[in-house]
């Protein structure tokens, strides 16, 4: 399971389940996420395997927290996983399915609206990531060379998010243009004055 290893990685310093969840909603949110209801049992299982230890720590203020620490075996397992090569899961994009099937509506306006909505959501997420990027390395990666090893690796990971999201936003722009061109009579260059057939049958 990947979540196990993500948890091992996030536990380079001791933390509680609640802390880790905060990590998912802040730093790690662009590449992974998990709910508390998944995190707690997972941590328990990792402890049973000997990859973590835990201790109840009643802090000066607030309810007691169960703080987990990575063991030497836990770290070894993390390193083993890192050596396994890139783990690439199957990506599923329901919205691309929707787009493919949208021809059944026979209404390019609907497709266009769909792409506009998609672009706005992608842009919102891109803005978040760009913020994270400039927080860590300044505008345009001004001080990438001054980053410590940890921040440098995180920076690289954020860059993927930024680039791939920007590509998707650009794709929306391109698609919207092509939809416009598809909607107009396609005979602009050919000078042919057909009645803008909405649909061409394929052979």
Partner DNA sequence: ATGACCATGTAATCCGTTACATGATTCG
Partner DNA sequence: CGAATCATGTAACGGATTACATGGTCAT
Closest CA to 16 of 62, 50, 72: 62
Residue 62 interacting entry, from a copy of itself, DNA, none, C-beta within 5 to 8 Å by type: DNA
Stretch that binds DNA, among 62-70, 95-103, 118-126, 156-164 (CB under 7 A): 62-70
Query: By rule CB under 8 A, what string of x and - marks binding of each residue 140-179 to a copy of itself?
Result: ----xxxxxxxxxxx-xx-xxx-xx-xxx-xx--xx--xx
Distance CA 192, CA 184 (A): 12
The residue (of 60 and 188) whose beta carbon lies closer to a copy of itself is 188
89-126: string of b/e by CB count within 10 Å (b at 16+)?
eeeeeeeeeeeeeeeeeeebeebbebbeebbeebeeeb
Closest CA to 199 of 183, 180, 177: 183
Interaction of residue 16 with a copy of itself, rule CB under 8 A: no
- Count of residues near DNA by CB under 7 A: 26
Among 98, 109, 127, 128, binds a copy of itself (CB under 8 A): 98
Shortest reach from residue 43's CB to DNA, in Å: 7
Distance CA 117, CA 99 (A): 12
Distance CA 65, CA 57 (A): 5
Question: Which residues are at the interface with DNA (CB under 7 A)?
Answer: 1-3, 16-19, 33-38, 40-41, 44, 59, 61-67, 90, 92
């Amino acid at each position: 399971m990947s979540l196990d290893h993500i948890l091992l990685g996030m536990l380079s310093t001791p933390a509680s389940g609640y802390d880790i969840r905060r990590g998912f909603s802040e730093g790690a949110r662009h590449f992974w996420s998990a709910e508390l209801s998944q995190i707690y049992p997972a941590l328990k299982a990792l402890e049973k395997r000997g990859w973590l230890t835990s201790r109840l720590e009643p802090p000066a203020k607030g309810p007691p927290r169960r703080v987990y620490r990575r063991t030497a075996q836990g770290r070894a397992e993390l390193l083993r996983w890192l050596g396994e090569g890139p783990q690439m899961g199957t990506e599923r994009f329901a919205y691309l399915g929707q787009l493919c099937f949208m021809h059944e509506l026979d209404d390019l306006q609907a497709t266009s609206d769909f792409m506009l909505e998609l672009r706005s959501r992608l842009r919102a997420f891109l803005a978040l990531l760009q913020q994270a990027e400039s927080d860590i390395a300044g505008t345009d990666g001004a001080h990438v060379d001054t980053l410590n090893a940890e921040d440098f690796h995180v920076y690289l990971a954020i860059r993927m998010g930024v680039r791939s999201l920007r590509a998707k936003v650009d794709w929306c722009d391109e698609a919207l243009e092509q939809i416009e061109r598809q909607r107009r009579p396609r005979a602009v260059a050919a000078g042919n004055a057909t009645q803008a057939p909405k649909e061409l049958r394929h052979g």
